[in-house]
Amino acid sequence: MSVSLALLPVGLALRLVMGKKNFEKWAESLQVRIPTLFKSELELVQTVRRAGYDIEEWGGSFKTHVEGEKQYFFWDCIDGKWTAIFSKADSAEMISKVMADINWAAGRKVVGPSQEQVTGWIQKIEGATRPPSIFPTNFRDGELLFRTLKEFGANPVRQGETIQCKVEDTTLIFRQYRNAPFHVEIQNAPDLRKVFEYLSDVDEDYKRCLQSVVYEKLKRRAAEKNLTVESEEVLEDNSIVLTLGIGR
């Protein structure tokens, strides 16, 4: 799975905390970039599909899945060259296989060094700047976060402003300072991809719970002010629009 922080619930907050340049430098340090010899976008798309992979537009780039929806890499045009962007978490064997399939479909070598070079790149990147183990999150309400983690079966334990839970072999520690959003510390994570996917699911469920709480509070306050709910509309993004009327 390629590192794409836009997919993470912590991504935007982390970008703000680190600053744009530091954030982009850190994100780049987690990538393996392999330039290609494709002459056009059309040639890239046709060759990738001929090789048996999908390729779809994604945020100004292209995304290609490998063996399922949760493992993928990106294609981006960098300095005028279409470039395959993998994550350091991807195995050298997987990267080499993808490149071999692409070259076979193209009928010539359009991408990739040898597997030894790929392995060397990954080892070099792993020895460089490592990702931090503490990330800012979007979670502000401790009770709601605890409830969400409990519903996910994470068996959270709360001590003061700290919430701790375990997801398989990984320990997640959520800490809050004053009224700031929680930070999450990730300990003993054998695969950060799975942790980020889990946090993303928690983030989505937290938002749904938060919306439900706000919705119920709004209805109670409306009743207290002698207002009635005349209509409710659920929009495409699952937000709810209430139309209130003055009670008689």
Q: What values do phi and psi take at 59, rounded to 5?
A: 55, 40
Same domain flag for 40 and 148: no
Same domain flag for 159 and 99: no
Structural domain ending residue among the three candidates 126, 146, 170? 126
Same domain flag for 90 and 138: no
Reduced 3-state DSSP string for 93-130: HHHHHHHHHHHHHHCCCCECCCHHHHHHHHHHHHCCCC
Determine the structural domain holding residue 119 and report its residue range: 5-126
Residue 48 confidence (pLDDT) above 50: yes
* Helix (H) / strand (E) containing 234: strand 227-234
Q: Provide the Cα torsion 10, 16, 19, 23; round to 10°.
A: 20
Percent above pLDDT 90 for the chain: 18
pLDDT digits (tens, 9 = 90+) for 178-217: 777 888 888 887 766 677 777 777 877 887 777 777 667 6
Same domain flag for 96 and 142: no
Structural domain ending residue among the three candidates 108, 126, 144? 126
Predicted pLDDT of residue 1: 36
Residue 154 confidence (pLDDT) above 90: no
Q: What domain count does the chain have? A: 2
